[in-house]
């Protein structure tokens, strides 16, 4: 066996070991979440539901702020599961992304129509 063949086989074997862990990391995002959308830390809590469902291929579906998720994707890089998706209301599209950090999600939403970016945190309501 040549050195390059050995390296290729080793890379394939290591990739096969890592794939189940990678898939599990993404699906850790699945469940029901409560998102706190307060505009400043001093403002009263402004809570909205978010439901995420992550398929094995990374497709993400669900709802946020009572609107269906469109074109959602989830991935995991450096052991950190993250996602991005689009929703829409009468004001236009919203681009939302977030990452699982410990037991909560830290995220941000950009409203194209209302011209704001809002950072937020979400806590798990149900897995």
String of DSSP letters for 43-84: SPP-EEEEEEEE-TTSEEEEEETTEE-EEEEEEEETTEEEEE
- Residue-range domains of the chain with CATH: 3-126 (2.40.128)
In angstroms, the Cα distances linking 125 to 14, 37, 112, 115 are 35, 16, 28, 29
Q: Mean pLDDT in runs of 10 for the chain (127 residues)?
A: 49 41 70 96 96 95 97 90 96 97 96 95 93
pLDDT at 109: 98
At 18 the pLDDT is: 41
Structure pTM? 0.79
């Amino acid at each position: 066996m040549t050195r390059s063949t050995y390296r290729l086989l080793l890379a394939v074997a290591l990739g096969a070991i890592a794939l189940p862990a990678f898939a599990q990391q993404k699906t850790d995002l699945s469940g029901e979440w409560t998102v706190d959308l307060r505009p400043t830390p001093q403002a009263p809590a402004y809570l909205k539901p978010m439901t995420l469902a992550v398929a094995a291929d990374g497709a993400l579906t669900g709802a946020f702020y009572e609107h269906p998720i469109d074109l959602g994707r989830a991935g995991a890089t450096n052991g950190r599961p993250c996602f991005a998706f689009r929703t829409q209301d009468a004001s236009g599209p919203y681009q939302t992304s977030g990452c699982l950090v410990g037991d909560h999600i830290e995220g941000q939403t950009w409203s194209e129509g209302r011209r704001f970016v809002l950072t937020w945190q979400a806590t798990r309501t149900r897995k």
